[in-house]
């Protein structure tokens, strides 16, 4: 499986990192070795001194599809979850400055913890889901999928022009404002519509 991640999909987050608001989706990949499941801890990597959390809504693909039209995109996913796109911000800044690819900053082992998924039928409107991230009991990110620049169905249409989506693939849909560093000992809890779906420690 592959993990497709969208960058800069919320205006407030693009602005906080001084990035332009994109005219088409920006995406990158993480390998399956990035996944962390079952609330297992995230081990702080030794190659970065500035690992940031990015809390994101995650879409589970359940059919093979290529060149999917946005109006049919809803047929290609069955579950919605929440995850963290861990980013080595110091390495990413170096990549950006030099115009290099982002893999060292984004695709490292354990950089994609994911929580419990819920059937999409649980949600009256996919484009109106509240989600949040708490660290050590304090809310650090709050978002709603209504604020996405490109909605979930548009992201599926766009990314599937370039790569075939397969059953089991995951789509990280971008992070709202409020990203920041984690440190060893932090506890991260991510929720959708007030329901806790991911809860793990940084070790």
Catalog residues that contact Zn ion under the rule CB under 5 A: 54, 85, 175
- Please, what is the minimum distance in Å from the beta carbon of residue 172 to Zn ion? 6
Q: Which is nearer to Zn ion, 10 or 77 (CB)?
A: 10
Q: What residue is closest to Zn ion based on CB?
A: 85
CA gap 130, 132 in Å, rounded:
7
Helix, strand, or coil here: 172?
strand
Q: Which is nearer to Zn ion, 109 or 167 (CB)?
A: 109
Q: Which is nearer to Zn ion, 109 or 119 (CB)?
A: 109
- Please, what is the minimum distance in Å from the beta carbon of residue 80 to Zn ion? 16
The pair phi, psi for residue 74, each rounded to 5°, is -60, -20
- Please, what is the minimum distance in Å from the beta carbon of residue 105 to Zn ion? 11
CA gap 80, 59 in Å, rounded:
5
- Please, what is the minimum distance in Å from the beta carbon of residue 2 to Zn ion? 15
- Four-residue CA torsion sign, 10, 15, 21, 26: negative
Q: Which is nearer to Zn ion, 33 or 119 (CB)?
A: 33
CA gap 119, 180 in Å, rounded:
30
Helix, strand, or coil here: 189?
strand
- Please, what is the minimum distance in Å from the beta carbon of residue 72 to Zn ion? 26
CB-count burial class (<10 Å; 0-12, 13-18, 19+) for 68: buried
Q: Which is nearer to Zn ion, 61 or 107 (CB)?
A: 107
Terminal alpha carbon distance of the chain? 27
């Amino acid at each position: 499986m592959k993990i497709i991640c969208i960058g800069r999909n919320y205006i407030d987050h693009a602005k906080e990192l001084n990035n332009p608001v994109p005219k088409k989706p920006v995406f990158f990949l993480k390998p399956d070795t990035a996944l962390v499941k079952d609330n297992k801890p995230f081990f702080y990597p030794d190659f970065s001194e500035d690992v940031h959390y990015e809390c994101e809504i995650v879409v589970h693909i359940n059919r093979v599809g290529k060149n999917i039209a946005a109006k049919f995109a809803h047929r290609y996913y069955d579950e919605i979850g929440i995850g963290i796109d861990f980013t080595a911000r110091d390495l990413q800044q170096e990549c950006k400055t030099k115009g290099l690819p982002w893999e060292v900053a984004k695709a490292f082992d354990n950089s994609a913890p994911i929580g419990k998924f819920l059937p999409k039928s649980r949600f009256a409107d996919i484009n109106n889901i509240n989600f949040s991230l708490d660290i050590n009991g304090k809310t650090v990110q709050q978002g709603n999928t209504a604020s996405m620049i490109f909605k979930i169905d548009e992201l599926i249409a766009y990314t599937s022009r370039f790569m075939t989506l397969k059953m089991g693939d995951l789509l990280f849909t971008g992070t709202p404002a409020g990203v920041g560093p984690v440190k060893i000992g932090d506890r991260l809890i991510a929720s959708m519509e007030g329901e806790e779906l991911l809860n793990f420690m940084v070790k």
